[in-house]
Amino acid sequence: DAGVTQSPTHLIKTRGQHVTLRCSPISGHKSVSWYQQVLGQGPQFIFQYYEKEERGRGNFPDRFSARQFPNYSSELNVNALLLGDSALYLCASSLGTGNEKLFFGSGTQLSVL
Amino acid sequence: GQQVMQIPQYQHVQEGEDFTTYCNSSTTLSNIQWYKQRPGGHPVFLIQLVKSGEVKKQKRLTFQFGEAKKNSSLHITATQTTDVGTYFCAGIQGAQKLVFGQGTRLTINP
C-alpha cells in the first residue's frame, strides 16, 4: 500500500510568488493535516481537514489556505511568499479527527529566494 | 496557548550509553505521542500514551507519561547507531490539534 505522497519534493520560488503543494493520504484515511517544519524545529500545525471541511487552523496568516477534495487529497496554498516561508511542508494523514497517530509524507522542501 | 517543551535540545552519546529526553507541557494533555525523524526524513510515529502514569516499552525504548499528564519521557537503553535522529513528543490538549515539541536531536559516536 502506498503511504502519504506529496508533490513536488522540492520547490524554489521568489518573494511575492504563490505556491501550491499537494498531498494524497493513505487509502482509507479521511483526514489530512499540514505542518510547517523550519530547520531545527518541531513541526508547526497549519491546518487539518476532514471530509473536505476545515477542522482546525494553526497560528498562520491568511496567506496560507488549504482545501480537501472528494478523494481526500489536499492542497496547501501560500500566497505572497516571504523569505520566512522557507521550510519543509509536511502532510500527514489519519483515519479521523480523533487523537490518532499521524502518518507523514516525505514533505515538500520550499525555498523562497 | 499550549506549549510543549523538550529537553535537552541536543544529546551526543557513545554507542552503548543510555539516552533520555524529557517533554513538559504547560497544560494537561489528553494524550502524548512520540515520533522519530531520521536526518533528511519525516516524522515516524513511535507510540501513544493515554493514561496517567502509563509506561510502555518497545524493545530498548521506554516511554512514560506523568501522573499529572503534563510530562513524559523517552529512555533508550544501550543506544545503537540506528537510534540516531530527532525525537519529538507531541501533545493534544482539549480540542487543540497535535502540538509538537522542538525535539531532541540524538547523535551517536560508534
Percent of chain B's residues with pLDDT above 90: 83
Quick: pLDDT tens for B24-65.
998 898 899 999 999 999 999 999 999 999 999 999 999 999
Mean pLDDT computed over every residue of chain B: 93
Q: Do A43 and B88 touch (CB under 8 A)?
A: yes
Place of cell 520566512: A84
Q: Which residues on chain B are in Cβ contact (under 8 Å) with A35? A: 100
pLDDT above 90: residue B94: no
pLDDT average, residue stretch A41-61: 92
Quick: pLDDT tens for A2-28.
799 999 999 999 999 999 999 999 999
pLDDT above 90: residue A97: no
pLDDT average, residue stretch A49-69: 94
Three-state SS at A109: strand
Angle A96-B104-B96 from CA coordinates, rounded to 5°: 30
Q: What is the pLDDT of residue A48?
A: 92
Residues in chain B, how many? 110
Q: Do A41 and B43 touch (CB under 8 A)?
A: no
HEC sequence for B18-82: CEEEEEEECCCCCEEEEEEECCCCCEEEEEEECCCCCEEEECCEEEEECCCCCEEEEEECCCCHH
Q: What is the pLDDT of residue B79?
A: 98
* Nearest neighbour of A43 by CB, restricted to B92, B96, B100: B100
Q: Is the dihedral of CA A88, A21, A107, B9 positive or negative?
A: positive
* Nearest neighbour of A43 by CB, restricted to B1, B31, B43: B43
Q: What is the pLDDT of residue B93?
A: 62
Of A2, A39, A5, A3, the residue nearest A107 (C-alpha): A5
- Cα distance between residue A10 and residue A108, in whole Å: 5
Q: Do A106 and B42 touch (CB under 8 A)?
A: yes
pLDDT average, residue stretch A82-88: 98
CA torsion A75-B99-B103-B27 (nearest 10°) is: 170
B17 confidence band (pLDDT: 50, 70, 90): very high
